[in-house]
Amino acid sequence: MNRDRASSTRKPTDTTRDVESLLWLAAGAAWALVALRAWNQTKKIDARRRTWSISDRLLRQVFPNDIRR
C-alpha cells in the first residue's frame, strides 16, 4: 500500500469539522443580518419621531392655542 496517498486523504472528522465551521459562520452571519435590520428599523422609527416632533412644533407656531382641533 502507498502510505503517502493514505495520509493525504481527508478524514471524515476533518470534513465534519469544516462543515460545522461553515454552519457556525452562516449562523453568525444570519444573526448579524438580523441585528443590522433591527438597528435600521429603530433608526427609521427615531427619524419618524423627530419628523413628527418638528412638524407638530411648527404647526403649533402657525396655529396657536389648538385652533387645529
Q: How far is CA 31 from CA 39, 41, 44, in A?
A: 12, 15, 20
Q: How far is CA 8 from CA 3, 4, 5, 14, 17, in A?
A: 9, 6, 5, 12, 17
Q: Pull the grid cell for residue 35.
A: 441585528
The model's pTM: 0.56
Q: Is the pLDDT at 48 greater than 90, yes or no?
A: yes
Q: Is the pLDDT at 42 greater than 60, yes or no?
A: yes
Q: How confident is the model at residue 60 (pLDDT cuts 50, 70, 90)?
A: confident
